[in-house]
Amino acid sequence: MTRPPIGANTWIWTSPVTDEQLVELVPRLSQWGFDLIELPIENLTDWDAERTAELLKEHELGASICIAMAPGRELCATDAGTVAATQKFLQRSIDAAATVGSTVIAGPIYASVGRTWRMSGQERAALYADLRTALKPVCEYGAERGVRVAIEPLVRYETSVINTVEQALEVLDGLPAEGSGLLVDNYHANVEERDVAGAFRLAGDRLAHVHLCANDRGAPGADHFDWHGIRDALSDIDYDGAVVIESFTAENESIATAASVWRQLAKSQDAIAVDGIAHLKAVFA
């Protein structure tokens, strides 16, 4: 297996990221040997896509985009106006992704994080049908611009909509493959899947993006994961996308609360990135 591009999410250091912070972070990630930087879109005006594209070109760094689904961003179990506003937000996010050269927007692109409710099997099937309908124009918009919409299963206490790869594949059934896909994060899979490597393997050619971290959200490698099993699973499905270290800073109140980060996860935030990339380069060598 050829080593996949390795990235780091800016949530390791800050939230929301700004143009000024990117001027500092982009050259550091390039110097540390990263292939790309993952840019969260929390608000469409937090950073300027054209300015960022020039900065990335200057430092020969690629990009991926992750989507923050804040309260009020809903594609299911809500009113038509909220769905339309969320679709418009996602389409503008796709525009930003195309500008900075990202081939994916990824995240729990279906409901706001933290929103949970009980559903019967029949209610879930109806919800998934509504979600497919809401996702379709967004995925078609992405396909026209070379950007896939990758939906992410989350742990049960962050959503009740999609918790497993199997559920995500059910939602994706019938959506255009060139505009839709799946993000698998080993942190969430460690809770919800009976076989972490098997979850990546099950995603198959629908896998569009990968998030990696330690089981406690720290640096990849400082954990109990079977990293060679994850590598082999990605090799088995001929995965050709990026792998991105996603972690969070405990210093920012909003992001720490959202991600339930109550303590420092490494000796420093930089160490999560530096130690993490060293480990991933060894695993995927």
- Reported pTM: 0.97
Q: Single out the residue of 135, 139, 187 nearest to residue 161, CA to CA.
A: 135
Phi, psi of 125 (to 5 degrees): -60, -40
For 196-228, write each residue's pLDDT tens digit. Answer: 999 999 999 999 999 999 999 999 999 999 999
**What are the CA-CA distances from residue 170 to residues 66, 129, 235, 284 (Å)?**
22, 9, 23, 30
Count the Cβ atoms, other than its own, within 10 Å of residue 92. Answer: 13
For 112-154, write each residue's pLDDT tens digit. Answer: 999 999 999 999 999 999 999 999 999 999 999 999 999 999 9
Q: Single out the residue of 56, 152, 153, 154 nearest to residue 96, CA to CA.
A: 56
Burial class of 141 by CB neighbour count within 10 A (0 to 12, 13 to 18, 19+): middle
SS3 content of the chain, % helix, strand, coil (to 5): 45, 15, 40
Token look-up 């990849």 returns 220
CATH number of 6-283: 3.20.20.150
Phi, psi of 158 (to 5 degrees): -105, -20
Domain ranges of the chain: 6-283
Q: Single out the residue of 245, 227, 233 nearest to residue 207, CA to CA.
A: 233
Residue 205 neighbours by CB under 8 Å, 6+ apart? 177, 237, 238
pLDDT at 59: 98
Alpha helices per DSSP H over 173-212: 186-192, 196-203
For 14-60, write each residue's pLDDT tens digit. Answer: 999 999 999 999 999 999 999 999 999 999 999 999 999 999 999 99
- CA distance linking residue 125 with residue 178, whole number of Å: 24
Phi, psi of 282 (to 5 degrees): -70, -45
